[in-house]
Structure 1
Amino acid sequence: MQRTTLLKWVTGVAEGLLAIPIAGGAFVISTGWMALLVMFILHAITLVISIKDSKFSSGSIVGMIASFLGAIPILGWMLHTAAALVLLIDAGQETGKAKQKTNK
């Protein structure tokens, strides 16, 4: 598995956990909003690495926006959900393509 795909899986799952309505919000607040900063940094790293690997990811940009605006309750939930979906779908497609290459 390529590093870009792995980072998309990790950030996608993390965004999915933050998108859980009450639990995600409670986790963000309990960390003093540091969870949002960590996710912003992870998304930035994922974006830079995916650009280097020529696999641009719009999910990382949505994730960065979600991390920036995540303190706004309903908007943060919607953005975390959108980022998780985009990242997980993208990672799943890349994993599928990699499996097809190895089967040939």
Structure 2
Amino acid sequence: MSETDNHEDKIWNLIDQFVDMANSSCEDGLSPGDVHQALTYASARWGAFIVAANSETRDEFREDIKDSQKFFLDQFREYLKDNFNEYDENFKIYRREED
């Protein structure tokens, strides 16, 4: 296994852990909407942290905000589109229902 494959595996394992935690939170009484809100907020908070952690000064951070927001929003939009397409293609399997 190459280092790239190992890195990809780690990312997918982390994604699976987040989804497992989300599912467990729903089983513990939170609504899927509440869980989504928490995941979205956590992602936004983490994104702001990444930009701040990579900025030498507050001014540099402020200069990077607009481009960083665009990057994160574009990335999320692409992930969302990909996942909606996947669910559309596999709806019967994922939901165990007919069209």
Q: What's the TM-score bracket when you normalise by the shorter of the two chains?
A: 0.3 to 0.5
TM-score (norm. length: structure 2): 0.34
TM-score (norm. length: structure 1): 0.32
Q: Give the greater-gyration-radius structure (CA).
A: 2
Structure ranking higher on relative contact order (CA contacts 8 Å, 6+ apart): 1
